[in-house]
Structures are given as structure tokens and as C-alpha cells.
């Protein structure tokens, strides 16, 4: 659990295109913040800079008290869930969830405990020996979330995690994500272009447009402003 702070964060691509124009944002410890806005407004770029998947051109990003501008992704102590589940097809659910941990120093017994606990939280405890191709879309999404949870990260990042799901499943997974957030109690930054998703999930909604923050407010205040 940690605060995530962006000060004057800028991203320009090599082609001269500036995708993010000096963003200031403080996400509180355990807060659920949703970045919303039209396609191309810089949401994903912002998230990828926080994750360390994209270099930052200017400004400062802090996770907790640490400036992480130059830290590689794996040293940032955060987990990201993507829209394409990025599960390994040849590995079981258990091994998919354990993969990141098994590359590190976590003892086997601890990995087992964490994977089973995360699987229980997500209701996939009975699926641990299956391969991804034997899972439904919703189950795969749960495995992807499980893989992030087992790392016990200080923050979760979600990049349009539900956009590949049909409407019914999207609604179901939305409540699932909310429930998991409450249970795991971790700072969460969530990117979507879907306003309903933003309104249902967020403690605060950050509306982006053209690489800038246009508005920041709790959902109930967002569209009430003149």
C-alpha cells in the first residue's frame, strides 16, 4: 500500500508527439482512482509511465516516498493487469499465478499459500490445475488479477481490463474488482474509456483530455458541476 504521486509528468514520443502535458496527481494510500477519457487522451501512456513500461520525458513519479523515474518496472513494487490477459498458455492456472514470484526469492511454501489465498479471494480455487484454454473469459480475467494479487504489490494498475469481455461479464467483473479492492485494500489506478465503469468503481475520477487532466472529482460530484 502506498501513495502514488505525479508531479508535472510529461511524455513526448520520438516523433515529436507529446502525449502527456505535465500531469499533477496524488493518489492516496488505498484509494481507487479511475483515469477516464476518449481514446488517445494519454491514459494508457500515463499508466505505463507509472508502471515503468515507458520512459518519462519530464517531471517526477513517486511510489510511497521513492522517486521511481529511473527504476525498472520490476523494482517498483506494483502490479499491472492488462486487457489481453497475457497468460502463459502452456502453464496451469497455479503456475501462471505463481510465475512472477517463482522468479524471485519467495519460498515455495509461501508461494503456495499466496496463490491459494488469491484463488479463494477470486473464486477460482477449483481451477488451479487447468490450462488457460480451458477457462472462460471471466475466469481468465480472474487469473490475471490473481497473478497481480499474489505479488502483494503496494499498488495495482489496471489498463482497460474489461474491454474484451461481453456486457454481462463486464458488469460481473466490475463488482468483482470492487470487491477484491476492498478485500486486498491496495492503492489502485484504473484506466478505462467507459464512463459507467469509472462511475461505479472510483473513489475519485480523473477526466483526461488531450494529454491533460480536465477534472478530478468523486463520481457523485463529477457531472454535477456547472
* Residue whose grid cell is 459507467: 196
Q: What is the spatial distance between Cα 26 and Cα 83, in angstroms, rounded to a whole number? A: 25
Among 1, 10, 71, 73, binds ligand ADP (CB under 6 A): 73
CA 35 to CA 86: how far, in whole Å? 22
Q: What share of the chain is helix, strand, coil (3-state, %, to 5)?
A: 40, 25, 35
> What is the DSSP secondary-structure string of 161-186?
TTTTS-HHHHHHHHHHHHHHHHHH--
**Interface residue with ligand ADP, options 23, 32, 42, 207 (CB under 6 A):** 42
State the helix-helix crossing angle for 137-149 and 167-184, rounded to 10 degrees. 20
- State which residue, 5 or 106, has the beta carbon closest to ligand ADP: 106
Q: Does 16 bind ligand ADP (CB under 6 A)?
A: no
Site string for ligand ADP, 129-168 (x = CB under 6 A): ------------------xx--------------------
The DSSP result for 189-223, as a single string, is: EEEES-HHHHHHH-SEEEEEETTEEEEEE-HHHHT
> How many residues bind ligand ADP, per CB under 6 A?
23
Would you say 216 or 224 has its CB closer to ligand ADP? 216
Q: Which is nearer to ligand ADP, 48 or 170 (CB)?
A: 48
* Shorter beta-carbon distance to ligand ADP: residue 42 or 132: 42
Residue 44 has which C-alpha cell? 494508457
Residue of 16, 65, 70, 104 interacting with ligand ADP (CB under 6 A): 104
Which of 34, 80, 98, 128 binds ligand ADP (CB under 6 A)? It is: 80
Residue among 168 and 185 whose Cβ is closer to ligand ADP: 185
Taking the mean position of all CA atoms in its chain, how far away is CA 64? 17
* Shortest reach from residue 29's CB to ligand ADP, in Å: 19
Contact set with ligand ADP (CB under 6 A): 13, 15, 17, 19, 37, 39-45, 51, 73-74, 79-81, 100, 103-104, 147-148
Amino acid at each position: 500500500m502506498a501513495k502514488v504521486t505525479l508531479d508535472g509528468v510529461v511524455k513526448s514520443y520520438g516523433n515529436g508527439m507529446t502525449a502527456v502535458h505535465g500531469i499533477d496527481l496524488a493518489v492516496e494510500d488505498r484509494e481507487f482512482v479511475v483515469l477516464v477519457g476518449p481514446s488517445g487522451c494519454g491514459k494508457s501512456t500515463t499508466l505505463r509511465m507509472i508502471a515503468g513500461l515507458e520512459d518519462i520525458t519530464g517531471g517526477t513519479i513517486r511510489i510511497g516516498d521513492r522517486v521511481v523515474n529511473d527504476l525498472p518496472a520490476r523494482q517498483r513494487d506494483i502490479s499491472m493487469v492488462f486487457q489481453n490477459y497475457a497468460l502463459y498458455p502452456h502453464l496451469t492456472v497455479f503456475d501462471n499465478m505463481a510465475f512472477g514470484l517463482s522468479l524471485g526469492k519467495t519460498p515455495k511454501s509461501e508461494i503456495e499459500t499466496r496463490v491459494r489465498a488469491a484463488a479463494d479471494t477470486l473464486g477460482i480455487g477449483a481451477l488451479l490445475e487447468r490450462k488457460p484454454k480451458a477457462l472462460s473469459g471471466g475466469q481468465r480475467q480472474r487469473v490475471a488479477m490473481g497473478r497481480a494479487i499474489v505479488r502483494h504489490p503496494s499498488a495495482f494498475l489496471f489498463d482497460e481490463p474489461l474491454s474484451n469481455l461481453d456486457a454481462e461479464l463486464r458488469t460481473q467483473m466490475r463488482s468483482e474488482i470492487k470487491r477484491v479492492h476492498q478485500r486486498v485494500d491496495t492503492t489502485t489506478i484504473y484506466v478505462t474509456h467507459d464512463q459507467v465503469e469509472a462511475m461505479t468503481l472510483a473513489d475519485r475520477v480523473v477526466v483526461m483530455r488531450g494529454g491533460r487532466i480536465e477534472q478530478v472529482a468523486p463520481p457523485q460530484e463529477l457531472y454535477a458541476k456547472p
